[in-house]
Chain A
Amino acid sequence: MTTFSLMVNGAHVSSSVQDRTLLVHLLRDELKLTGTHVGCDTTQCGACTVHLDGMAVKSCTVLAVAAQNSTVKTIEGLTGGDELHPMQISFNEKHALQCGFCTPGMVMAAVSIVERHQGHITEEVVREELEGNMCRCTGYQNIVDAVLHAAEGFRIRGNW
């Protein structure tokens, strides 16, 4: 058991969990941020993707205690309120989800991709960089469309 602190969605969090606790379980079970999902045991599906110090990571493969003093952003913290993030609006408009289980991870990964490339991405880049996220409904086409659509908006506005 280790007591440590970290920032989650802009709020200071003090936590006391077993060292073997995974970051995703700290988020879901302790902080009740259940938007972050667990879809596999093998670091492959990406449903647990969050931003750790600004980088997209799989929170099922980071120890909670190893994230001490770090900044974490989850799907709940994307806008900080009830409004949807432009990427979420784009997923809605392009019907980029079927069952929705992979969606939080897809959105968090997609936001990271668009920001890293400042909106200048092609379909090929989107497909390559979403390699770490799986959609069991196989609805990739609309997901790719949604990311490209959101990227276009980012490009025009120069920001979200």
Chain B
Amino acid sequence: MYPYDFVYRRARTIAEAEDLFNCFEEPAFLAGGHTLVPAMKNRLARPDALVDVRFIPDLHGISRSGGWLHVGAGSTHFQVSTSAEVISAIPALAGMAGTIADPQVRNLGTIGGSLANNDPAADYPSAVLGIGARIITSRRTIEADDYFQGLFSTALDPGEIVVRISFPIPEGAGYAKLCNKASRYAMAASFVSRVGSDVRVAITGSGKDGVFRWSEAEAALSKDFSADVLGAISPDEEGIASDIHGNATYRANLVIQMTRRAVRAIGGIDVR
């Protein structure tokens, strides 16, 4: 048993989870636990209590109503990747979920957990920002544009629980990712969606501050929705991360190439 000592509590309702959270000094919510538990095993995180929200019925279920796809925050990556509702409404979202980590991780990791964590190389933030989804929490509704606030930071307040994510169903969406060959996390990935001439492009894996919208590409694609228009523009390297796996110039080029591939992949994914 590698983690520091802590207390485990299982919540059956959202209200109970919030009440339990308030009983401790440094609690954390546990969903799939596939970021939190490894962090605790390596003693990089030390909550004094874990409030398990995995079994709260209100956090589950995937449904479609009108032009919206609603995905419960407790949905696993496996459930999203195999859901008939998701596959028919936003195939790129289902395809993307099927490329996260490996099958065992996808069987437990959740969309809500991924969004609450906001890892700069995670996949889901790009889909949520690239589609312009709404994050429905235990207290309010947060627009994707207001939700992501830098590395591992979100608009969530302490004790606030992501309940579901509502995606406006776009006319088309595509996702392209180049994986780091060892970790399989994104070196760069682009999620592109389109409604009429309104285009959104969200990049993950490359931003110094985590996921971001590439507004120049959005403007160019809004005028001419073609991979070719991306030859003439490039993201500002000031905002691009540089590390042992690739410098900012290399990653900026990947951002262009991944966005090109995402446009060509509309209706699906291109992950290598």
Contact = CB atoms under 8 A, between A and B. Distances in A.
Interface of A: 2, 18-22, 25, 41-43, 46, 49, 52, 55-58, 60-63, 65-66, 68, 109, 112-113, 129, 131-133
Interface of A, secondary structure class, is mixed
Contacts, number: 86
B102 A25 contact: no
Contact of B30 (A49, A66, A109): A66
A63 B7 CA distance: 11
Contacts of B104: 46, 49, 56-58, 109, 132
Interface residues of B, number: 29
A129 B103 contact: yes
Given A41-B42, A113-B103, A131-B184, A61 B4 contact: no
A22 B41 CA distance: 9
Interface string B1-32: 11111111010000000000000000000100
B8 A65 contact: yes
Contacts of B37: 22, 43, 61-63
B34 interface: yes
A68 B107 CA distance: 17
Nearest to A108: B104
A131 B6 contact: no
B79 to A, nearest CB: 10
B101 interface: yes
A55 B50 CA distance: 23
Nearest to A42: B38
A98 to B, nearest CB: 22
A20 B4 contact: yes
Given A21-B1, A42-B38, A61 B6 contact: no
Contacts of A42: 38, 42
A20 B1 contact: yes
Contacts of A66: 8, 10, 30, 33, 52, 54
B105 interface: yes
Interface string B93-108: 0000000011111011
A100 B27 CA distance: 40
B2 A131 contact: no
A46 B102 contact: yes
Interface string B47-62: 0001010100000000
Contacts of A60: 41
